[in-house]
Chain A
């Protein structure tokens, strides 16, 4: 009945976990970068916000505590880019992965769920890193001069902010994607992104919102923006903003773990 030499002769088994995770991360990163709308969210909108913000600040004479507009706006735009990919892109992509049975199909492959999640995280970090490189270059070309008072602190604080912000937003994005239908996720993720971009303290300092800042500072968007500005404007680690991000990250992770449906 069986001929062990046949073309289809069984030789089952999974690849090593590290190879599986690497394959998954490569695949997801490639798909994220291929998608036009995601590129719009990831690069084009942040650049427009930066250029438009600098021009508008010059015209209306926005008071930014004596700092040049581009120096305050550039860190906020980096925060915006993290938010767009970690929250909106991840939520939409995961929502449609559920809809199209991708997660279900991969659930029947040797790739364990932890590997799937790890691959997603690695892909996300790669795309965020790529975004930041492009946006930093764009900012420098527009005349951005990050503070050079204490570069090690600036770099460490910015890396921590990006890491904590990516965690907080990605966990919230997965929460939405695991709970709602794909179309509802698409709508909600975009809406939340627009609202936070406009009034969430991400691009402009929380302090510029007047009385509302008492509330806004607790949003993950404001915390990420403030942490980035503290790092790159004042060479300071904003511990309270990082703490806010960590709380959102824990909340998002717990909610996702409790509610996420893989199919």
Chain B
């Protein structure tokens, strides 16, 4: 998928199983929305093929659309329309819609049902968008950044709802740049960066990946030349060293005392003074860092 000469999504290959939650995880600008919109039939891929529920989302869009629910990243409603009026309208376009009052209560929209869309908070607009995606009882929902702008409480509620939706046999594909969201919700995670798939798997597969712990080392002065290679040599096989910037490194390796000891010894031997040395279980954030050398959070 390219815009002008800028390629947004390239060589992306992923599959989604029915009745599961799949997260497309990546930083802002990674190509998550482009990927989703290609599956929704808004865009036609310049190369390769996309099949959603066995249909070509661009050429067979009219057949596909009644079967899927779509939540856009933003907007999607008239500025003067009342929240429930909008939800009832989308419900009226479907053959067997859900009870909109039930959805309203489940998503905590009871207080703002008569509020014009433009006066809803960002989180309320997101929840209304999610309700609009679900109201037609789709087989598959695409949700673009479902919890962006939500407070922690609303985020929990949304997660629980998405889990229930999956339990009832609906396939969920969501994008997020929150690794905790992907870790908590997803059966399958696809990490993409700059339009390319860099890792796929269950959250457990991705975070264990042969290593069980990560050490984040931040030092007081810039590392000497060749530091990551020299540290990797000291640590030996089975560990991975990634330099993040001139004063920090990420070390992934077995969770035993040896790794930590070797790192401390290496610091002393190279006249490097640690400012902080953090040991933790490897998270998706660390996976992303190790693979791209950049932070995920956006």
- B19: A residues at CB distance < 8 A: 1-2
- A97: B residues at CB distance < 8 A: 78
Interfacial residues of chain B within 88-102, with CB under 8 A of chain A in the complex: 89-90, 92-96, 98, 102
B213 contacts the other chain (CB 8 A): no
Asked if B169 and A15 make an inter-chain contact with CB atoms under 8 angstroms apart, the answer reads no
B79 contacts the other chain (CB 8 A): yes
B139 contacts the other chain (CB 8 A): yes
Stretch from A3-11, A154-162, A172-180, A234-242 contacting the other chain: A3-11
Asked if B94 and A101 make an inter-chain contact with CB atoms under 8 angstroms apart, the answer reads no
Say yes or no: A101-B75 contact (C-beta < 8 A), given A14-B66, A27-B89, A111-B93.
yes
Instruction: Kindly supply a per-residue 1/0 record for chain B positions 66-105, scoring 1 wherever the CB is within 8 Å of any chain A CB and 0 otherwise.
Output: 1110101011111111000100011011111010001000
Size band of the B side of the interface?
Answer: 35 or more
CB distance from A25 to the nearest CB of B (A): 11
Instruction: Kindly supply a per-residue 1/0 record for chain A positions 24-39, scoring 1 wherever the CB is within 8 Å of any chain B CB and 0 otherwise.
Output: 1001001100110000
Interfacial residues of chain B within 114-162, with CB under 8 A of chain A in the complex: 132, 134, 136-139
- B169: A residues at CB distance < 8 A: 1-4, 6, 8-10
Alpha-carbon separation in the docked complex, A20 to B136 (Å):
13
Q: Which of B62, B79, B95 contacts A15 (CB 8 A)?
A: B95
CB distance from B276 to the nearest CB of A (A): 44
Alpha-carbon separation in the docked complex, A69 to B96 (Å):
57
CB distance from A98 to the nearest CB of B (A): 10
A151 contacts the other chain (CB 8 A): no
- A102: B residues at CB distance < 8 A: 75-78
Asked if B168 and A109 make an inter-chain contact with CB atoms under 8 angstroms apart, the answer reads no
Asked if A2 and B81 make an inter-chain contact with CB atoms under 8 angstroms apart, the answer reads no
- A143: B residues at CB distance < 8 A: none
CB distance from B296 to the nearest CB of A (A): 27
Q: Which of B42, B68, B79, B96 contacts A96 (CB 8 A)?
A: B79
Alpha-carbon separation in the docked complex, A226 to B138 (Å):
53
Interfacial residues of chain B within 52-74, with CB under 8 A of chain A in the complex: 62, 65-68, 70, 72, 74
Say yes or no: A101-B66 contact (C-beta < 8 A), given A2-B168, A10-B138, A15-B95.
no
B260 contacts the other chain (CB 8 A): no
- B68: A residues at CB distance < 8 A: 12, 108
CB distance from A113 to the nearest CB of B (A): 10
Asked if A7 and B102 make an inter-chain contact with CB atoms under 8 angstroms apart, the answer reads yes
Asked if A23 and B65 make an inter-chain contact with CB atoms under 8 angstroms apart, the answer reads no
Chain A residues packing against B (C-beta within 8 Å): 1-4, 6-15, 19-20, 23-24, 27, 30-31, 34-35, 96-97, 100-102, 104-105, 107-112, 263
Top 4 A-B residue pairs of the complex, sorted by shortest distance between their CB atoms: A2-B169, A6-B168, A101-B75, A105-B76
